[in-house]
Amino acid sequence: MATHPDEAHIKARQEKYRQAINSGSIDEAMSFFSEDVHFSDFGVGQVNLTKPQLHAYFTNMIEACDNLNMTTVSINGHKSCTSWEWNITFNYVKKMEEVASDKELGNLEVGGGLLKMVGVSVTWWNDEDKIIRNHDYAKLVENFYGR
């Protein structure tokens, strides 16, 4: 099967973003977003966040989750729009603040052990390889089997 002309580019770009998230560096992760980004994480009810709101959300998430590790299941799409399937594991060590409509993490017990989520990010990119819009969909799971 022939590869898509953008395949190498989108895989390399996504890997850099994945590493930035796993590094725990807010500044490194935020460097992937355009100034006019609109970010939504529908799993926790955070919709149409602006860049300053996204910075606060990422800070909150990184502080609440220890040993955070995202892995790629698949990445597909084109240079301007991708769909990234991922798995994530983390220890929930601090209650997330300002996530009032959080259906997934809101009822979790802090210190409850290693948690697992499956998810997909639909991401739109500009010509400078900055994220201009992102929609995350995620679900807590018992295991990654059958993924």
Q: How high is the pLDDT of residue 5?
A: 87
CATH number at residue 15: 3.10.450.50
Residues of 126-137 as b/e, b for ≥16 C-beta within 10 angstroms? eeeeebbbbbbe
Residue 2 located in a structural domain: no
Residue 146 located in a structural domain: no
Residue 132 located in a structural domain: yes
Residue 128 located in a structural domain: yes
Domains: count for the chain: 1
Residue 1 located in a structural domain: no
Residue 32 located in a structural domain: yes
Residue 46 located in a structural domain: yes
Residue 47 is part of which domain span? Answer: 7-141
Q: What is the pLDDT of residues 62-106, one digit of tens each?
A: 888 899 999 999 999 999 999 999 999 999 888 776 543 445 555
DSSP string, 67-110: EEEEEEEEEEEETTEEEEEEEEEEEE-SPPSS-TT-SSSTTPPT
Residue 28 located in a structural domain: yes
Q: Find out whether 47 and 57 touch, Cβ atoms under 8 Å.
A: no
pLDDT at 37 over 80: yes
